[in-house]
Structure 1
Amino acid sequence: MNSSANSMSLKGIFFKFVFLPLISYNLVPLLICLVKKYLFERTEKRRAKQLSSESPGSPWIRLRAQTKTRIKSNLLDECSSVPQLFSKVMQKFKDKHCFGFRQVLHEEEQKQSDGKVFKKIVLSDYQWLSCEEINNRVEYMSKGFLSIGIKPKDIVMIFADTRLEWMISAQSLFRVGSTVATLYATLGEEGIIYGITECQVTHLITSSELLFKLKAVIHKLTQIQCIVYMSGHNRPNIQEIFSERELKRITFYSMDQIEELGKSHKDLKGVEATAQDTAVIMYTSGSTGVPKGVMVSHRNLLTAVKAFYTLAEALASDDVYCAYLPMAHIMEMSAQLFFISNGLSVGFATIQTLTDKSTGLKKGMKGDLTLLKPTIMTAVPLILDRIRRVIEDTVNKNLLSKIVFIFLRSQKSFWSHFDLNTPIINIIFCRKFKAILGGRVKVIACGGAPLSPEAHQFMRHCFDLKVLQGYGLTETSASATLMDLDDSSVGFVGQPLDGIQIKLIDWEEGNYKVIDKPNPRGEVVVGGLNVTNGYYQNEALTQELYKEENGIKWFFTGDIGEIYPNGSIKIIDRKKDIIKLSTGEYVSLAKVEAEIKKCPFVDNVCVYGNSGKDYLIALIIPNAKQLQQLANKLSKSHMSFPELCADTHINDSVLKSIQSIARNSKLSKTEIPNKIKLCSEEWLPDNNLVTSALKLKRKNIQEFYQNDINLISQFLITQVKLWKYKLNKT
């Protein structure tokens, strides 16, 4: 009797304290959401419209931003150049934190278990300068630059990593009336020589760390008369780095010396730049050959900043932006100008010190994100993919944690689909992941390459933040499209930004047409005041890719897009990534690579094809942990990483996994690689196999692995001959 009563009591407790709360927590909000979604919001929100509904090739424009956003852009409307905007912002927010940075206190050498020695740095906490202090430094630096012979309209090259001094140098040169030319700090010797020589710069600004890189090429840069260097932890010994001949030819100044010169030359003044003047000659990362210098005017940059004001309604006065991507990239430069113009504080960081587990930090040191606690970040897809991989690898080590992770993430995904918040899941699940990024990030703007839907959803659900994909090029001042804040879709790059037009044109060779069903497809063409003035010293390419129609300048991107009925744009291909096989079939290498990256064995991939062949070869950077697990299963745990990459059985197992995923992704037979090469080398900007934006340099990768490609091709030919021989015998 007692056991029966106890059983009834337990059932009552379960019903009252478990079942009913679960029903209340899940069912009631779901019913409310379904009623709202299907009775009041039956049609999908329209985000852009065509100027003419009668012409399928008519340009698309964004539906007007909210009035609040339009009012916020008044400060921009008063300015015609970047230095004008910067000065007004510094005066308006003069007492507010402007830029934050961490000083290098000292370096230590740490020996690893494998005997290798790495330099680890010890950093201070963040130190902040107010807008007034920054404005004063820019003023002194501009006068200091004038005192060493830099004149208005001169081209001055900045060759350095992202840091406070980069921004101060650029703004100082803008105030002089000079043009800033930029080079990626990771660029190889050939690219450095090309950019500096083409611009014929006499004055170069760099960092003390990069002086050693310049030493190797300085004898070929005979036009250089003056080098200004940003001081590091250790003051460089110029006399030891450069030869006596070079020291006679070139004058060296530290930035501290330039600032002091400015204080003693207060009477010097530059010339105010006009809207049409070239603000920046920005050299692209050179994914398809030598870097191209894109001429970006002051009007272009201000148009880009104004276009991004669609984000302004999401910003608060205490928001902080983390700046760590290369400032030589138009995306980072435009982003910083946008956030500064909104009065946000900007904290500088580096990829080597970003998180608590970053390889550049001494063990126990806090990463930049932990100390800065930013609310806004930008990112390229590769970084978000790496974050996802690291978390998934960690979770998969333990079965229980994996089960809990999958359950909570699926719950977050479910409720997010109905635009409902999940405060309990946010606390017990998302908070742990948000701490990796400092705990406060609410928006990540992603661009530079397509972001996979898997990575997009992962970041959105696990970190409880908005991931906004955008699309833009150096040639369009980084601005073309951006997702709305309330857009929960994945796989899209948003809609045309305010003031910018997007249209599609037919690309017959790839069989993409604006009359395609169900949605128009074609080459993406961007028009507006954001479109730059062309390529420096390359009139032929400028004429080819820039056109003017009815007073609007257009840039032909070479990217293939598809526009959906609500105005959302999806980038589906790239003209330069499409090859024609010997069978006559066209294959999109980027499409194949995107599917192969879903394989857990793959960290990065470059697919190779030849118009004289009927097959594809995949060159793969394997995931070291996954490869080691496979080695353990195949009793090859004793082998080193390079040995595993060369092992036939390992390659065959990885190939089978890739081919299985490719078939499940509905790739056609010709799109599935016949053979792979596991590459033990890293693909880095330093070895010129990827750009500074981490895009593949296909030609360089092909040349680097040409011998391997030839061997694989010969093997496949032999296999075909053997198959034909056996077929004839039967």
Structure 2
Amino acid sequence: MFVLIIKIVANLIIYAIVGSIVGPLVICLWRTYAAPKKSEPMRGRPLDPSLPSGAWVNVNHHRSAEDKRRQIVDRSANMAQLFARIVGQYSRNRCFGYRPLLAEDHAIQPDGHVLRKFTLNDYQWLTYEEVNSRIAGVAAGLRAIGVKRRDVVCIYADTRLEWMVTCQAVWRLGAVVATVYTNLGDDGVLHVVNQTEATHLVTSDEFLTKLAPIVDKMPTIKHIIHMNSGITDPLEVVSGLFTDTQRESIEFHSFQRIEQMGKELTEQSAESVATDESIGGDETALLMYTSGSTGVPKGVMISHKNLLFAVRAFYAFADALTPGEDIYAAFLPLAHCLEICAEISFLSVGVPVGYCSVHTLTDRSLGLQKGMKGDLTLLRPTVMAAVPLILDRIMKAITDEVDKRPLILRLVINAILKYKSFCAANGLNTPLINHFVCRKFAALMGGRLRFIASGGAPLRPETHRFICNLFNVKVLQGYGLTETTAAATIMTLDDESVGRVGPPMDGALIKIDLVDWTEVSDTVGESPVARGELLIGGGCVTNGYFKDPELTEQYFKVDDEVKWFRTGDIGELYANGTIRIVDRIKDIIKLSHGEYVSLSQVEEKLKLMPIVANVCVYGNSLNDGLNALIVPNRNHLEALARSVSKSSQMDIKQLCDDLEIIGKVLVELKEFCVNSGLTKVQIPTKIKLCAEEWLPDNGLVTSSFKLKRKALQEYYNNDIKPLFAS
């Protein structure tokens, strides 16, 4: 990053000088002679114009039915049929890309952790036809080892080509896929497997190590299929981890053997596993387990019809994509509904999917051997999906690096980004900035990226603007939940706003349960038409929670023959039909003096502090102030310790418990909060520095790294009580 910034500093300074002269003139001429800015187009509308407080829909609600590309979805009764139609249309086009593993080494870090280092080949591609052949082989192999119609097959693996091939093969058999997040703790994995009563589990070699100590607690599992890297012997891997007794009760199969066995059976009998037209749209295709922020993971029953709806809804920006030329970079967990729907949607319009890994994503990724190119550099994608956590980290990493540079460089970069932001908001292009600045940063993402679809949580406006301006990409923010098949709203291509999640997707219905949340809203600009809890209706709403009718009844309602899901999110609906997510109902508390405070809004601000790696804010109605649990950034904490002459021999626990360091952090925190515009009641008055990292493995955050407030409160109960009492 340092070399990159030094290389562009000269161009930045030259452009800043030219821009300081030309910029004001351009702006002046623009304001004087440009046509008046058109009013914001309608993107959503009331389903019944006489009831604006009722359900809202996309402005093109059901008008796209004649689009030929959408007909490939509309004519399919289930997901297996959809893929068969996709193969028929794009048979010889590129479908899936992957990087074969050549070697793997293990490097021991100073802190004792073992870091896996990979040597990878360049991308190799399979056509739709070739992928279809592999799916047929895996389906036949799974059927041969006992997978039947409506059986549940668990997939416990990171995102990779074999994950999607397995999923499609299971659907072809009329069976059900149950997803398991790979960073779930042992209890979470056991809950998913045992609740589904799965007999077959598909995983990869690296997760066999996690399964070995707990597999005896999975009484229904009879077969484990493991995806092998190709550089180790599958039999040696299994025999080295599992006891003789375990190998007698469970049959282990390498993925390659299952696929080869299915291919041989198909050739011998001249019979393939055909798409079963009797698989109904209302049948369950996925048991997708949520991350479990309020307890154990909940299994959401997603039907074939739900998935078809979501795939079609993601066509919102398909018009901007070209089959064969655009490429989608897949690296989010396929156990996340957003990723699986996005991949199938892109494949259905002829956009190939290149599989990446978070460990090898960029040239600077720690999982790569020295000198290896990152996935994005070689793949050169044009579109990718991301969650706000990733985009926030990119922004923080770059701004932290820039903050270390000389003042003149910081001023130049900030001025250029503000200038580009102004131009983008007013429809002006910035070719010089794009060439001298954005192009160099865009090279980190492969150099061709045009679109980023963001979902999973609200994206902060500051991050939205920063990513758009720095990489010169279009960030399309959407909104959806596992319970709504990741589909509810998405921004349109011509929407230059930030902080909103767009209008309802085509076919989805949005309704606001009116509640006055003005105490915690920080609305900027126009006032919303309505504010309250968001309700989502239509074909995206799933069939409820697996084996939990009480919870299903609590959140899923049928009104006027429309199934609605109560999201628990507070949203604002604007006159043009777009939505803004304000908060979570459960994250709002009332202090002893009657003030309402949004804990998540305070946490969002605090996460921008350089010393804050993670934070959880607490408060209750018996106290008049907030307290904060803070996981410090280790480098910043050590630098702060040196500034107050603390010993370099102190470990992280000693630093976090040191009263002088805590006091210093608290002073910086209060100053930061005031400068960030937080009010007095929003500023934590007491803090606890936490030496422990919050991970899914220790149960303090979910598998998608959302805070588990109750678990954190219980874990730090002995520390929280004195904070409130003092």
Match of residue 357, structure 1, among 355, 364, 370: 364
**Residue 636 (str. 1) matches residue 642 (str. 2):** no
Show the counterpart of 2:681. Answer: 670
* Residues 1:418 and 2:434 aligned together: no
Whole-angstrom CA distance in 1 between matches of 2:454 and 2:436: 26
Which of the residues 224, 233, 245 maps onto 1:235? 233
SS of residue paired to 2:265: coil
How far apart are residue 634 of structure 1 and its match? 2.6
Q: Does 1:44 align with 2:40?
A: yes
Answer yes or no: is the 8 Å Cα contact 1:208–1:235 preserved in 2.
no
Gaps of 5+ in 1: 1-16, 717-730
What residue in structure 1 maps to residue 661 of structure 2? 650
Counterpart of 2:712 (choices 689, 693, 701) is 701
Aligned pairs for 1:489-568 within 5 A: 489-507=497-515, 519-568=529-578
Quote the Cα distance in structure 1 between the aligned partners of 2:647 and 2:377.
37
Task: Note the C-alpha offset of 1:687.
Answer: 2.2
Counterpart check, 1:345 vs 2:352: yes
Say if 1:663 and 1:240 are closer, same or farther in 2 by CA, change over 3 A.
same
Are 2:53 and 1:57 aligned?
yes
Q: What corresponds to 1:378 in structure 2?
A: 385
Distance apart, 1:447 and its partner CA: 1.0
| Offset, 1:18 | 12
CA–CA distance in 1 between the matches of 2:122 and 2:79?
30
CA distance in 2, matches of 1:635, 1:69: 71
Equivalent residue, structure 2, for 1:478: 486
**Alignment match, 2:469:** 461
Structure-2 separation of matches of 1:633 and 1:219: 52
* Residues 518/390 of structure 1: CA separation in 2 closer, same or farther (3 Å cut): closer
Q: 2:591 aligns with which of 576, 581, 585?
A: 581
1:285, 1:291 within 8 Å by CA — same for their partners in 2? yes
Q: Distance in 2 between matches of 1:298 and 1:437?
A: 34
Counterpart pick for 2:204 among 207, 231, 234:
207
* TM-score in terms of structure 2 length: 0.91
Contact kept in structure 2, 1:182 and 1:281, CA below 8 Å: yes
Task: Tell me the distance in 2 between the aligned counterparts of 1:79 and 1:618.
Answer: 51
Aligned partners of 1:34, 1:625: CA distance in 2, in Å? Answer: 50
What letter is aligned with 1:534?
G
Q: Structure 1 residues 114, 551: CA separation in 2 closer, same or farther (over 3 Å shift)?
A: closer
1:594 matched residue in structure 2: 604
User: Which of 691, 694, 719 is the aligned partner of 1:683?
Assistant: 694
CA contact (8 A) 1:512 1:522 kept: no
Distance 1:635 1:458 in 2: 36
Cα distance in 2 between the residues matched to 1:409 and 1:713? 42
User: In structure 1, which of residues 156, 171, 178 is the aligned counterpart of residue 175 of structure 2?
Assistant: 178
Q: Does 1:314 align with 2:325?
A: no
Given that 2:528 and 2:575 are in contact with CA atoms closer than 8 Å, whether structure 1 keeps it comes out as: no
Cα deviation, residue 250, structure 1: 0.9
Point out the structure with max Rg over C-alpha: 1
| Structure 2 counterpart SS, 1:390 | helix
Unaligned 5+ residue runs, structure 2?
A: 1-14
C-alpha distance in 1 between matches for 2:83 and 2:582:
38
Inter-partner Cα distance in structure 1 for 2:708 and 2:233: 35
Deviation at residue 228 of structure 1 after TM alignment? 1.0
C-alpha contact (below 8 Å) 1:512/1:521 kept by paired residues? no
Partner secondary structure for residue 496 of structure 1: coil
The alpha-carbon distance between structure 1 residues 19 and 350, as it changes in their structure 2 partners (threshold 3 A), is closer
> Is 261-270 or 365-374 further displaced after alignment?
261-270
* Matches of 2:638 and 2:320, distance apart in 1: 44
User: Which is worse superposed, 363-372 or 27-36?
Assistant: 27-36
Number of the residue aligned with 1:269: 273
Counterpart selection for 1:487 from 495, 498, 502: 495
In the TM superposition, 1:190-229 aligns within 5 A as 190-229=187-226
Calculate the aligned-residue CA RMSD, in Å. Answer: 2.5
2:636 alignment partner in structure 1: 626
Measure, in 1, the Cα distance between the counterparts of 2:18 and 2:584.
53
Of the structure 1 ranges 432-441 and 255-264, higher mean CA displacement relative to structure 2 is found in 255-264
1:133 to 1:33, Cα distance in 2 relative to 1, 3 A:
farther
Per-residue deviation, 1:653: 2.5
Deviation at 1:518, TM superposition (A): 5.2
More deviation in 544-553 or 456-465?
544-553
Report the alpha carbon displacement of residue 234 of structure 1 after superposing the two structures with TM. Answer: 2.1
1:36 positional shift: 4.0
Q: TM-score, normalised by structure 1?
A: 0.90
What corresponds to 2:294 in structure 1?
Answer: 288
1:455 Cα offset (Å): 1.0
Contact 1:415–1:421 (Cα < 8 Å) also in 2: yes
CA distance in 1, matches of 2:65, 2:541: 26
The answer on 1:250 being equivalent to 2:250 is yes
Q: Check the 8 A contact 2:656/2:690 in 1, yes or no.
A: yes
Displacement of 1:588 after TM fit? 1.9
CA deviations over 1:625-673 (Å, ceiling 9, x no partner): 4334433433337244443332222222222232233344454433321
Please say if 1:431 is aligned against 2:428: no
Partner of 2:8: none
SS at match of 1:352: coil
Whether 1:449 aligns to 2:445 is no
The structural deviation recorded for 1:69 is: 9.1
Distance 2:365 2:111 in 1: 19
* TM-superposition CA deviations, 1:479-531 (whole Å, max 9, x none): 00111111111111111111111010134799899xx9753111000000010
Q: CA deviation at 1:610?
A: 3.3
Higher mean C-alpha deviation, range 280-289 or range 385-394: 385-394
C-alpha distance 52-652 of structure 1, shift in aligned 2 (>3 A):
farther
How big is each residue's C-alpha offset from its partner over 1:390-418, in whole Å with a ceiling of 9 and x where there is no partner? 11122222214323322322332222121
Q: 1:418 is matched by which residue type in structure 2?
A: N
Structure 1 residues 69 and 632, CA, compared in 2 at 3 Å: closer, same or farther?
Answer: farther
Match of 1:7 in 2: none
CA spacing shift, 1:161–1:54, aligned 2, 3 Å:
same
Deviation of the 1:44 alpha carbon = 2.1
How far residue 352 of structure 1 moved from its aligned partner, in angstroms, is 1.1
How much has 1:591 moved relative to structure 2? Answer: 1.8
Q: Structure 1 residues 518 and 431 mapped into 2: Cα distance closer, same or farther (>3 Å)?
A: closer
% same residue:
47
